[in-house]
Amino acid sequence: MQEGRALADRQINRDLLHTIFTHPKWQWGLIAFFGIIVLGAMCAAGYMFNRGLGVSGLNRPVMWGFFITNFVFWIGISHAGVMLSAILRLSKAEWRRPATRAAEVLTVFSLMTAMLMPLIHAGRPWRVFYWVFPFDWARGVYPNVRSALIWDPSAVFTYLTSSTLFVYIALLPDLAVIRDRSTGIRRQIYSVLALGWRGNPRQWKLQIIAGVLLSALILPVFVSVHSIVSFDFSMAIAVKSWHSTIFPPYFVIGAVHSGVAAVVIVMAVMRWLYGWQEYIRPEHFDALGRLLVVVATGWFFFFVLEFFFGLYSLEADEIAVKDFLSAQAPWSWWFITFVGTTYFIPVGMWLFKGVRRNPGLMIIACISVNIGMWLERFLIIVPGLAQKQVMNFTYFTYAPSVVEVVIVIGTFALVCMLMLLFAKVFPLIPLYDIKEGEIARDEIQIGRRKVPAVLREE
Amino acid sequence: MAQRKPHKWGMIVDIDKCTGCQACVVACQAENNVQLNTEDRFHERRPIEWIHIQRYWEVPEEYRSRPEDAPFQDIKARFLPVLCQHCENAPCEPVCPVYATYHNDQGLNVQVYNRCVGTRYCANNCPYQVRFFNYWEPVWPDRMRNQLNPDVTVRSRGIMEKCSFCIQRLRRGERQVEAAEGGELNDRALAEGNFAPACVQACPTGSLIFGDYTDPDGQLSQYVAVDEDTNEKVLKDDRAYQLLKNIGTEPNVIYLKKIDPRRTGEGGHG
Amino acid sequence: MARHPHEAAERTGPPEVHLSDREVMQDLAEKYDAACPKFWLAVAVAGGLFALGVLAFVIRALDVGLSDSSRNEYGYYAAAFAFLIVTATTAPLAAIAFRWTKNHWRRPFSRAAELFSLVGILAVLAFIPMLIVLPGIDLNGDGVLELGKDRRTIWFSAPIGAPIWWDMAGLIGVVVCGLALLWVSARPDMAQIAQVSNGLRARVMGRLACGWQGTVRDWNVQKGQMAILGAFYFMLLVWVHTLISLDFALSLIPGWRDSIFAAHHVLTGIQASAGLLIVVLFLMKKVGGYDRYIGVDPFWSFAKVLLGVTLLWGYFWFSEFMTFWYGRDETEQTVIKLLMVESYRTAFLLNLFFSFFIPFVLLLWNGVRKSVLGPTVAGASVIIGAFFMMVRLYVPAFNIKDVGAESIAEFEAAHGGTAAQLLPVLPGPLDVLMVVGMMAGAAFIFLLGTRLIPIMSAWEMKEGLMYVLYRPFMKGKYLVLGKPE
């Protein structure tokens, strides 16, 4: 049996646009709540700019800590958008339809948030322009293209530009729908944004071509972004546990793992918040759950290889880091938590169909994944630095200061706030995509049984 | 200005002569306006020591597996002065996004404070751990203000710093020699000690030797030579070694091994 | 769903197949019953070459012996063995994966993919000499693994029987699992053949079908068995790839510390086996007489997968190369020199060219992907590339004498210039015969296997006819794909 009932276009418009045309108080309350946390984080960052990085918990062997961990984490989350939209669009997976917009928007916002991190972690954040933009801002010296830290902003900004375009192109038909239903100044704004969309065949054709082209072009960017983030670590020969050839694919698959999990969280939350049970159905969570099992298992294979090769080397420094990480308290507790929450707990849950089809349990499993993936990045970065190697005369560990913790919490609030604000002005589920899916829905009668089917243009 | 002679600066650290007195550390601190390493800085693990003395306790071979059982008279203190190695193939250089650190034509790994934005990537990628970050704005008590060296920048917070081989002294020496002789900089002037780095000048036992590798008559020539074809350093002294040679950084600081009297049979109190 | 009245549906199937269930079965059974003389000629040629290869191996073994000290004589043998693993042994994965993702276009080749598990028997036999020449772990025998004295190994302080028995057990596990999968998947067809043919074949097939009745329960059990065996096959295969690549290549080259290598090996396997299956599909269509069952769709879809895997291949290679190259660590630089840029440069360039550039440039174009010849050429290229990859990895690994050293960089210093064991080793006539013999043996077994079990899965084709149909919508006719739960 086909899940969910057939929906008429008019009802789809009404259901998905009510977030824009109605103004319940709780929405503003939530936005204000996250806004206050963001404000707090901004104050903390301001304090840090004023006093210097001394207010963080960083020290001499451990030069990178919470900020870089958070940077890698948010870059990881941003991989969900393309993973779901582009790959599933190219592979024509039907269940992608309600998930794409939320995933893409999450990509854009988490990328913005991620890029804040290396900027505020710099010693002199007011001078980062000649680092971040490949142009001779100062003294006629171009940035050093050999540095992985130059590849980073270039890749991230390319990804940000292309994913913003991706969101915008998919948004065009929906903007026109809103334009036609609004009045006054809002109508004018949406008119400008909709770029004169009339929905004629030529425009649809162009929109589809642009979508497919961007999907295909964005894929190399998507892979390159996290590879380059991993190069920040794997290119460094001085930190033995960072210098590992598996890092690029290991980071990318980890990013997909945490990113898809984050999309599941967003979907479950918006289903509950905006009452979209008809659109985001258990079957979608089921499909995402299965995808996550595969991704998680691939990730686990890479994790095992990475860990194992630290020991394989028989090199004392390398083994010392792995020993420090997995056998010495308190790190060993974090390590066990990380492995459990990233793989064993969620995958154990996802093996059951009942869990995969239950949004509440899916949220729990996916939050577990994201806790684990945050810890993963932390456990890659900090123990490697703390137990660097032979010439590291002053071994020391690292504990974050309050300022760092507040800023990290602030980034989570920032993404939540931006998502809510987006939902206030644009539909978080693509209207046209759902309508297209309704047209493509079909059934095949085989004997007494009806098998769900899709109509496909070739 | 006269055409300058090409130089390749380097240092020899003779471990055998080092007593671990820390005079070099103090001299460096004073010469280079390095911020005060107060107790707080040590507790935060953020001291800045462009040259620091690493101290190791060495037990006899037979006690390696259980050092706590070694008789105290057999436990030896070993000192290793570690400063920026001015690697020819420095891992810190390619990773800086803004070219704040680069290699100059005299074999020095130099840090441009003005360009540094403080990503701290270079410190992560330094296998010798000799790059230091200014976590706080440096402050000196009023009575020490006048002690600051006018030839050296006071580094603000948020940037990296490290040993420069007292480049200000090299530049001053060049100017002096050129003014006095109207000619090239040479190691004769160096031999007079008028522009050795502060640590070298302060070392009471002479365990630090500074000089020019390319000068065949220089002080370094008895320890090391430069191959004409490959332009690589050839260690001539059998005590000579480089720190972490296996990772291929090609340091310009060369260490001379400790002479163990028990092994060489030269007597001593063993 | 009142928009499309079901009465209006035309059950035409994909454009290639205009047959009813019964016609499919009869047609396939006929093809299976009668083999043309050309087929037997191919079998004879493959068998002859296989025999020559075995002979060459025996001569080599009698000549230099078969032990740790004569390991260098078996470099090409090892490469051929690894090639067998990355192509034939990995091939059933395609059937498992696309059955799992419910892709309809897998139907023409899934049986062919499973049939490759028969070649596993050859792989197990060929593995025995490899195990004999593998050096021990604890070289100086002091019970402790130490850098620079003992071989770096993935077995650390060696569980009992490691690595030899564990490697063998893994490979046998894969082969047994693959054969079981083949049997489970072929049971419905065997039962059908037992009904439509007669004589000895009918009796054998009836026996092998083990009482298949085609009840709902039979089908459900079969589905469950295939899922479990498939999952096991997948995991065991990845494990065996990991073991073989690490034990027989990576750990024999001192100083080569490459965490992506095992994953890259698995990926090369997936790529090469995809190429192999496209080529087999092409042969089935053009020579085997299955033209009407195999349209462009399997080629088109498989080409997309191959393009993706090819891009991943380039990406994995780049990760490995980039990390070593940028790091400028002398040990790693020497490894790159050995495997890529100096000693085995020719093999490496051929590998990169055939495994990456050719398939990438070809498959980039939809016109090429949506054809029969284009994906086939790319598939053949990928197979050739995988072979050169195995040559550049396994031949040097088998030619290193001092496997206990800390780094191969040291050899150079010790010998003044390039050490003899780092020079490229070219194949002799016996090596060529062994390599060709190994491939011919695989072809021989596969061809004979198609006589035992039909190369096209009749039940999957028939199932496909039910789920794929064309239906009018608006002004045109569109494809409707059933997606069974």
Sequence-separated (6 or more) residues with CB below 8 Å from residue A257? A292, A295, A296, A299, A342, A369, A373
Q: Is residue C272 a part of any domain in this protein?
A: yes
Which amino acid makes up residue A379?
Answer: L
pLDDT at C15: 46
DSSP letter assigned to residue C342: S
The answer as to whether C268 is a domain residue is yes
Among A366-370, B33-37, C469-473, name the one with the lowest average pLDDT.
Answer: C469-473
In this model, does residue A271 exceed pLDDT 50? yes
Is C6 a residue whose pLDDT tops 70? no
| CB atoms B46 and A60 under 8 Å | yes
CATH top-level class of B9-262: alpha beta
Per-residue pLDDT band at B230 (split at 50, 70, 90): confident
Indicate yes or no: CB of B157 within 8 angstroms of CB of A54.
yes
Q: Tell me the longest C-alpha to C-alpha distance in chain C.
A: 84
Q: How far apart are the C-alpha atoms of C383 and C150, rounded to whole Å?
A: 35
> How far apart are alpha carbons B175 and C158 in whole angstroms?
66
pLDDT given at position C1? 35
Which residue segment(s) compose the domain that C132 sits in?
41-444
- Convert the pLDDT of each residue in A320-343 to its tens digit: 888 888 888 889 999 999 999 999
Q: What does the block give as tokens for C217?
A: 């329960």
- pLDDT confidence band for A373 (50 / 70 / 90): very high
Please answer whether residues C272 and C86 qualify as being in contact, where contact means their C-beta atoms are separated by less than 8 angstroms.
yes
- Name the average pLDDT for chain B: 85
Higher pLDDT among residues B191 and A228, named by residue: A228
Q: Give the whole-angstrom CA distance, residue A364 versus residue A361.
A: 5
Question: How do B253-256 and B9-14 pair as beta strands?
Answer: parallel
Q: CA–CA separation, B268 vs B260, rounded Å?
A: 9
Pairwise CA distance, residues A431 & A450, whole Å: 27
| Per-residue pLDDT band at A141 (split at 50, 70, 90) | confident
The answer to whether A146 contacts B95, with C-beta atoms less than 8 Å apart, is yes
- Residue spans of alpha helices (H) in B55-96: 92-95
When pLDDT is cut at 50, 70 and 90, the band that residue B194 belongs to is low
> Domain limits of chain A?
9-454
- Mean pLDDT, residues B32-60: 90
Q: How far C316 CA sits from the closest chain A CA (Å)?
A: 7
Report residue C256 as tokens.
């080569």
pLDDT at C485: 64
Which of the residue ranges A299-308, C165-174, C310-319, C416-425 would you say has the lowest mean pLDDT? C416-425
Q: Which residues in chain C are closer than 8 Å to A457, comparing Cβ atoms?
A: 478-479
Dihedral, A246, A252, A254, A258 alpha carbons, nearest 10: 170
ipTM for the whole complex: 0.92
Listed by start position, the domains of chain B span: 9-262
> Quick check: A306 contacting C, CB < 8 Å?
yes
Arithmetic mean of pLDDT, A17-34: 89
**A436: CB partners within 8 A, 6+ apart:** A97
pLDDT at site C143:
72
Is the bond preceding C163 in cis, omega lying within 30 degrees of 0? yes
First to last CA, chain C: 18
Q: Read off the pLDDT band of A388 (50, 70, 90).
A: low
More confident residue, C173 or A94: C173
Residue among C326, C328, C331 minimizing CB distance to B89: C328
Mean pLDDT confidence for B6-10:
83
Q: How many helices (H) and strands (E) does chain A have?
A: 19, 2
What length is written for chain C?
A: 485
Tell me the chain B residues in contact with residue A64 when contact means C-beta distances shorter than 8 Å.
Answer: 120, 124
Q: What mean pLDDT do residues A125-153 have?
A: 82
Please tell me what DSSP assigns to residue C420: G
Kindly report, residue by residue over C72-126, the tens digit of the pLDDT: 899 999 999 999 999 999 999 999 999 988 888 898 999 999 999 999 999 999 9
Average pLDDT over residues A152-179: 92
Q: What pLDDT does B208 receive? A: 93
Asked if A135 has any chain B CB less than 8 Å from its own CB, the reply is no
- Starting from the edge strand earliest in sequence, which strands make up the sheet with B240-241, in order? B208-212, B9-14, B253-256, B240-241
Residue B268 zone, left/alpha/beta (φ > 0; ψ -120 to 50; rest): left
Question: Count of domains in chain C?
Answer: 1
Band the pLDDT of C8: cuts 50, 70, 90.
Answer: very low
* Cα–Cα dist C229/C232, whole Å: 5
**Angle at which helices C458-467 and C164-196 cross, to 10°:** 70
Would C23 be classed as within a structural domain? no
Distance CA C98, CA A336 (A): 35
Q: Do A309 and C322 touch (CB under 8 A)?
A: no
Return the CATH superfamily for domain A9-454.
Answer: Formate dehydrogenase/DMSO reductase domain (1.20.1630.10)
Report the greatest alpha carbon distance in chain B. Answer: 64
Q: Model's pTM, two decimal places?
A: 0.92
Q: Which residue has the tokens 């004409």?
A: B228
Which residues does residue B234 pair with via DSSP β-bridges, in sequence order?
B225
| pLDDT over 80 (residue C207) | yes
How many whole angstroms separate alpha carbon C34 and alpha carbon C30? Answer: 6
Binned at pLDDT 50, 70 and 90, residue C423 comes out as confident
What whole-number distance in Å separates Cα of residue C270 and Cα of residue C261? Answer: 14
| Contact between chains at A245 and C329 (C-beta distance less than 8 A) | no
Residue C35 placed within a domain: no
Looking at the domain assignment, is residue C51 inside a domain? yes
Say which residue, C481 or A351, is predicted with more confidence. A351
How far CA B130 is from CA of A188, B53, C142, C269, C299, in Å, comes to 60, 12, 39, 45, 59
Is the residue at C10 inside a domain?
no
CA distance C257 to chain A (A): 6
